[in-house]
C-alpha cells in the first residue's frame, strides 16, 4: 500500500477545490460568488457584483440587462441577490410568496455566443467582399 499526502487548494467563495494553486487562483478571481470578480466572458475587471444584485432586487432583470448583457455577470448578480435575500436552495417561490431569483445561464450563454459569432461572421463577410 502506498500513502501520499497532498496539498489541496480551495476557493474562499465556493466549495471548489483543486490540486494546483495557479488553477485555483484563476478560478477565485473569476468565481461567480466572488463579490469583486473579474469576468472571464466579457473581460470586465473588478465587477461590483453586490451593486448589480441590489439593482436586480430593486428594479428587476430588465434593469440589470440594461446595465450589462453578459450572462456570467448576470448569473453572479443572481447568486448574490439570492444570498442577500437569504435563499440557500433553489425554489420557485418561498412560503411567503417571495420569488427566488432564477436565471437560465446555459440558454443565455447560447444566445450571447450566437450573437457574437454572427457579428464576427458578418464583419468577416463584409470585409472580404
**Could you tell me if residue 20 is inside a domain?**
no
Residue-wise pLDDT for 36-60, tens only, equals: 889 888 887 777 888 888 888 888 8
**Could you tell me if residue 63 is inside a domain?**
yes
Portion of the chain with pLDDT greater than 90, in percent: 18
Cell numbers at 15, concatenated: 466549495
User: What's the confidence (pLDDT) of residue 8?
Assistant: 93
**Could you tell me if residue 32 is inside a domain?**
no
| pTM attached to this predicted model | 0.73
Residue-wise pLDDT for 9-25, tens only, equals: 999 998 899 999 999 99
* Domains of the chain: total: 1
**Could you tell me if residue 88 is inside a domain?**
yes
Structural contact between residues 69 and 63, judged by C-beta atoms closer than 8 angstroms: no
Beta bridge partner(s), residue 10:
17
**Could you tell me if residue 17 is inside a domain?**
no
Question: Does residue 3 have a pLDDT over 70?
Answer: yes
First to last CA, the chain: 67
**Could you tell me if residue 97 is inside a domain?**
yes
User: What's the confidence (pLDDT) of residue 116?
Assistant: 81
Determine the structural domain holding residue 90 and report its residue range. Answer: 48-128
**Could you tell me if residue 54 is inside a domain?**
yes
H/E segment holding residue 17: strand 17-18
**Could you tell me if residue 65 is inside a domain?**
yes
Amino acid at each position: 500500500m502506498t500513502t501520499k499526502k497532498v496539498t489541496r487548494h480551495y476557493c474562499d467563495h465556493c466549495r471548489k477545490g483543486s490540486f494546483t494553486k495557479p488553477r485555483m487562483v484563476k478560478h477565485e478571481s473569476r468565481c461567480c460568488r466572488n463579490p469583486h470578480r473579474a469576468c472571464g466572458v466579457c473581460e470586465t475587471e473588478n465587477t461590483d457584483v453586490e451593486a448589480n444584485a441590489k439593482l436586480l432586487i430593486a428594479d428587476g432583470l430588465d434593469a440589470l440587462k440594461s446595465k450589462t448583457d453578459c450572462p456570467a455577470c448576470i448569473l453572479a448578480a443572481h447568486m448574490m441577490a439570492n444570498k442577500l435575500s437569504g435563499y440557500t436552495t433553489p425554489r420557485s417561490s418561498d412560503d411567503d410568496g417571495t420569488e427566488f431569483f432564477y436565471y437560465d445561464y446555459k440558454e443565455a450563454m447560447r444566445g450571447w455566443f450566437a450573437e457574437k459569432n454572427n457579428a464576427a461572421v458578418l464583419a468577416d463577410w463584409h470585409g472580404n467582399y
